[in-house]
Amino acid sequence: MAFSPHPAANTALIVPSEQTTEIIVHEENPFSARQLNPAQSYLISLGSEGSRSTVRSHLGSIAKLLGFEDFNQLPWEQFERQHALTVIEMLKNKNIAPTTIKGYLSTIKGVCREAWANKQIDTDTYTHIKDVKAPRGRRISKGRALSVSEVQTLLSTCIQDRTNRGLRDAAIVAIMVGCGLRRAELTSLKYENIIFREKAIKVLGKGNKERINYIPEFAWEHLFRWISEVRGNAEGPVFTRVRAGDDVRTNGLTVNGLTKILEYRRIDAVWIESFSPHDLRRTFASQLLEQDVDLNTVKDLMGHSSITTTQTYDHRDKKRLEKAGRNLKY
C-alpha cells in the first residue's frame, strides 16, 4: 500500500512497510518498538478521556487530509516536516481557526515525539517537526455566556419538574454555572469527591490535574437536595441516569447524555437561545470577572494552565467597545 497523500498535497511519502499499517504485536517480541503505533502510544499517554476524544478526532482528520481512511494506516515513522506544513496549509485553506490549527499541530508533535521515543524517527526529523510554528491570529469565539435571567429561567424550568429527573437536572445546571465544570469533569464527578464539611468538590481536570472548587450556596442547595432526597450516599457517579418511570440508576451520565439533558431543558424553557454545555462554563467565568474577581483567581478556579486561556473568557472589553460604539454621535 502506497502512502498516497491528499490530491491537494504537493509532497509524496515513502511507501510504508506492511508492519506500519496497523498495530501488530508479534508473539516472539511483543514489546518491539518498531511494531508500536505512535499515535496509539500518544493517546494512551493523555490524562483524560476528554483529551483523548479531541486528539482522536484530530488524528482522524489528519489521516483523511493525507489520503488515509484511518490514522492507524498512516505510516507515522515516515512523517516529516513537509507533511506537517502540508496539513497546516490544507487546514488554512479550509478556513480553520488558528487556535484549532494549533491543536492539530500539537497532536502531530505529540505523535512524532512518541515515534522519536520509540526510535521510529531520528532526532533531526523530530527536531524539524517540533520547530514548525502554528499560524498566528484568532477568531471571535462562537460561544456565549448566558445572562442571569437565562440561568434563572433554566433553573426554574428544572425545579418546576417535580420528579427525580428535575432535581438532578437542577443540580447539574447549578453546579455547571456555579463551579464552571467542563462536561467531562461533571460526568466523572464522584460522590467521594464531595467535601461536605467545606461545601466543596474535588475536580479532576485536564492534564490529570486536581483542583478544589468551592460551591456557592444556591448550587449547594440543589446538589444537596439531589443527593439527600434521591441519589443517596453510595459511592460512584454523583449524577446518574434517570430512566422512564423516574427510575434512578447507578450508572453515570455520558458527555453526550449531558448535552442532550441541557438541550431538553433549554427547549422546555422556551425562549432561551441555543447554548452549548461549555457556554455554562463561560457563564461562570463571565460572572466572576464582572464581579471583579482577578484573572489569576479565575484561572485557578477554572483549572487553566495558562492565564492566556482565561483571558479568552473575558468579555468585559466587548461591553466597553459596544458602549463606545453605540454612543458615537456626529
Active site residues: 182, 206, 278, 281, 304, 313
Which stretch of DSSP H or E encloses residue 279?
A: helix 277-290
What backbone torsions phi and psi does residue 266 show, to the nearest 5 degrees? -60, -45
3-state helix, strand, coil in the chain (%, to 5): 55, 10, 35
Query: Which whole-number Å values give the CA distances from 133 to 60, 98, 120, 307, in the listed order?
Result: 21, 11, 23, 21
Edge-first strand listing for the sheet containing 210-214: 194-195, 200-204, 210-214
Neighbours of 104 (CB within 10 A): 23
Distance of alpha carbon 12 from alpha carbon 6, whole angstroms: 9
The sign of the CA dihedral 91, 96, 97, 102 is negative
Burial zone of 288 (CB within 10 Å; 0-12 exposed, 13-18 middle, 19+ buried): buried
Going through the chain in order, the beta strands assigned E by DSSP cover 194-195, 200-204, 210-214, 240-243, 247-252
Spell out a b/e string for 123-151, using b for 16 or more CB atoms within 10 Å of the CB, else e: eebbeebeebebeeeeeeeeebbbeeebb
What 3-state class would DSSP assign to 60? helix
CB 63 within 8 A of CB 74: yes
The rounded Cα 169 to chain-centroid distance in angstroms is 21
